[in-house]
Amino acid sequence: MWKPDRHNPKPLYEQIADHLEQRISYGEFPPGSLLPSERKLAEQLGVNRSTVILAFGELRSMGIIESRPGSGTRVSKFKWGAVPKHTPNWKRYAEGGSFLPNLPFLRRIREALQQNPALIDFASGELSADLAPIEEMTELMGTNPYPSYLGYGHPQGYMPLRQAVASYLDRYRGIQATESSILITSGSQQSLYLITQCLLSPGDAVAIEDPSYHYSLPMFQSAGLRLVRLPADEEGILPEEIRSLHKKHRIKMIFVNPNFQNPTGTLLSDDRRGALLEVASELGLPIVEDDPYSLTDYEGIPRSPLKSMDRVGSILHIGSFSKMAAAGLRVGWMVAPHSIVERLADARQQMDFGLSVIPQQVAARFLESPYFEPHLHRLRTQLRRKRDLLVEALQQELPDSVRFHVPQGGIHLWCRLVPSVSDAKLLEEAIKKGVVFVPGSVYGSDSGYVRFTFGRAKAEEIGPGIAKFAEALRGLTDSFPTVKKAK
C-alpha cells in the first residue's frame, strides 16, 4: 500500500494530495463518493492528522473535494465534468444486495489488524507462520511442481486429492469414504456456505450450538434461515433438548462442532454423541459435523467424529487443512451422500468454477508424505505450549477477573469476565493497548465473554498480550484493584 516518502523533498501533505488526486481520477473514488476520514487516513498513511488536514485543504482549494460538517469529505461532483446523475449511486449499490455484510465487531478487528500489523492477535482463528509445514511442502513440490494440465478441474475436486483424503479419513478419522462421496472445498467456510445455499430454503429453521462460531456468520441470515439455539454445558450440547425444539420450530438441520468447539473448546461427551445420533436419526434430521480441530488433541487421543458412528447416513462431515496445516492453502473437504456431493459441486462450479489445482496438489502430496505424522506431533506440542502460556498469563495477570475451562485441544480458550464491561469498550481499549480478541457476543453469548485464540500469536507474544489485555480491562473497571497484580 502507498505511503508518503519521508526522504522525498516534496512535503508530505503535497505527496498525499497528489496521491489522492490520482486515485480519484482513476475512478477509485467516483464523483460524490465519501473519502476516508482524516483520522482514518492519517492512521493508514502513518502521518499526523494535521498533515492530512493540509492535504485535504489543498484538494479542496482545487475544487476536487468538498467537505460538509457532519457528512465528511466527498469527491466533488462538478470538477470531474459530471452532473450528479452521471455516476452510478455506488453507495446504494454497495448497500443493496441480498448478501449481508460481516458483523461490525469482525470488520473492526480486521481493520485494526490491517492498520497495525504489530497488534498481538488473539482474534484470528489460524496458526502462526512457524506452525505451517512450509519447508516440507517446498521439498515435496521440488520436482514436478505443477500438473501438466492447468485447465478447469473436476467439479468435485482434484482426483488424487480426493483419494488422499479418503485414505486420511480412513486412517485418522475412522471414516470410510470413496472419492465419489468426497467434495474438495476451499475450507469449512465454503462447505457451510454451499450447504446453506443449496440444501436449505429461506424460512427453514436450523439448530446451532449456543454459543457457536456459526453465529458469527451472517451467511445463515443471508440465506434467510431461522437460527434455533441448542443449549450446551461443559460437556457440549444437550441432545434431549432437540426433540422439543423440533416440535416447536420444525428444525431442518443440526450444526455441531463436537471436538474442541469454537469458541468454547468443549469436547462433546461420548454419551451425548450417541444420544445426538439417536435423536437425529429418530427425527430423520441431517447433522452437519464441523471437525477442524480433532487432530490437535494435545494428548494425541483420537477423538472419533460422529460420522464414524453414522449408521444411517445422516451426517455431512466437514474437515479442513486450515487448523492442522495452513489456512493459506485453502483446502478442505466434505463427506456426504453422492447425490448431495453432486448438487453442491454443481453449484460451486457456478459460483467460482472450482479451486486451483496447485494447492490441491500440494495438499495431496503432503497428506501422503512421511512428513504428515511428525508435523501433527509438532503441532500438538506447540499448541499445548501456547495454551499453557495463555493459562499461566491469565492466572497471573487476572487471577480474580476471569473464569475458564482449560481446553485439551484446538486453538481457542473461552473466558468469562467477572467484572461486567461493555464488549465494544473493551475491544477499543484493547486495540489501543496493542492487542485484539473476539468479544463473546459475536458467537451469540451474552456480553462479558471473550474468545482468546492462541494459535495465531507467537509463543513469546502471549504473556505480553495478556498483560496488555489486563491493562485494558483494568482501565474500564473499578472492581479490579491494581494491588491484585502484585500477588
Of residues 168 through 197, those in contact with a copy of itself by CB under 8 A are 176-181, 185-187, 189-190, 193, 197
Helix (H, G, I), strand (E, B) or coil at 130: helix
Q: Does 418 bind a copy of itself (CB under 8 A)?
A: no
CA angle at 271 for the pair 257 and 407, rounded to the nearest 5°: 45
Report d(CA 218, CA 103) in Å as an integer: 7
Please give the C-alpha separations between residue 433 and each of 42, 119, 448, in angstroms, as whole numbers. 19, 9, 19
Q: Does 274 bind a copy of itself (CB under 8 A)?
A: no
- Amino acid at residue number 455: G
Cell 470531474: give the residue.
Answer: 80
- Amino acid at residue number 170: D
Of 336 and 393, CB closest to a copy of itself:
336
Please give the C-alpha separations between residue 157 and each of 339, 417, 487, in angstroms, as whole numbers. 16, 44, 56
Cell of 3: 505511503
Of 46 and 88, CB closest to a copy of itself:
88
Which helix (H) or strand (E) element contains residue 32?
none
Is the CB of residue 305 less than 8 Å from the CB of residue 317?
Answer: yes
Number of residues binding to a copy of itself, judged by CB under 8 A: 121
Of 266 and 322, CB closest to a copy of itself:
322
Report d(CA 168, CA 135) in Å as an integer: 21
Of 25 and 395, CB closest to a copy of itself:
25
**Of the candidates 3, 39, 86, 458, which one interacts with a copy of itself according to CB under 8 A?**
86
CA count, 13 A, side-chain hemisphere, 120: 22
Scanning 92-100, 298-306, 392-400, 468-476 for contacts with a copy of itself by CB under 8 A, the matching segment is: 92-100
Minimum distance between the CB of residue 138 and a copy of itself, rounded to whole angstroms?
6
- What count of residues does the chain have? 487
Minimum distance between the CB of residue 481 and a copy of itself, rounded to whole angstroms?
39
**Of the candidates 46, 104, 224, 302, which one interacts with a copy of itself according to CB under 8 A?**
224
- Beta-bridge partner residues of 335: 182, 317
Is the CB of residue 462 less than 8 Å from the CB of residue 390?
Answer: yes
Minimum distance between the CB of residue 297 and a copy of itself, rounded to whole angstroms?
22
Q: Does 80 bind a copy of itself (CB under 8 A)?
A: yes
Minimum distance between the CB of residue 376 and a copy of itself, rounded to whole angstroms?
16
Footprint of a copy of itself on 425-444 (CB under 8 A): none
Is the CB of residue 34 less than 8 Å from the CB of residue 20?
Answer: no
**Of the candidates 37, 72, 99, 381, which one interacts with a copy of itself according to CB under 8 A?**
99
Scanning 324-332, 398-406, 426-434, 445-453 for contacts with a copy of itself by CB under 8 A, the matching segment is: 324-332
Footprint of a copy of itself on 280-319 (CB under 8 A): 281-286, 307, 310-315
DSSP 254: E
Minimum distance between the CB of residue 283 and a copy of itself, rounded to whole angstroms?
8
Report d(CA 125, CA 457) in Å as an integer: 10
Of 7 and 149, CB closest to a copy of itself:
149
Footprint of a copy of itself on 131-160 (CB under 8 A): 132, 134, 137-138, 141, 145-155, 159
Site string for a copy of itself, 336-375 (x = CB under 8 A): -xxxx-xx--xx-xxxxxxxxxxx--x-------------
Q: Does 126 bind a copy of itself (CB under 8 A)?
A: yes
Report d(CA 58, CA 2) in Å as an integer: 19
Minimum distance between the CB of residue 128 and a copy of itself, rounded to whole angstroms?
8
Site string for a copy of itself, 447-486 (x = CB under 8 A): ---------x------------------------------
Report d(CA 290, CA 262) in Å as an integer: 10
| Torsions phi, psi for 400 (to 5 deg) | -105, 0
Footprint of a copy of itself on 16-35 (CB under 8 A): 22-23, 25-31, 33-34
DSSP 171: H
Of 252 and 433, CB closest to a copy of itself:
252
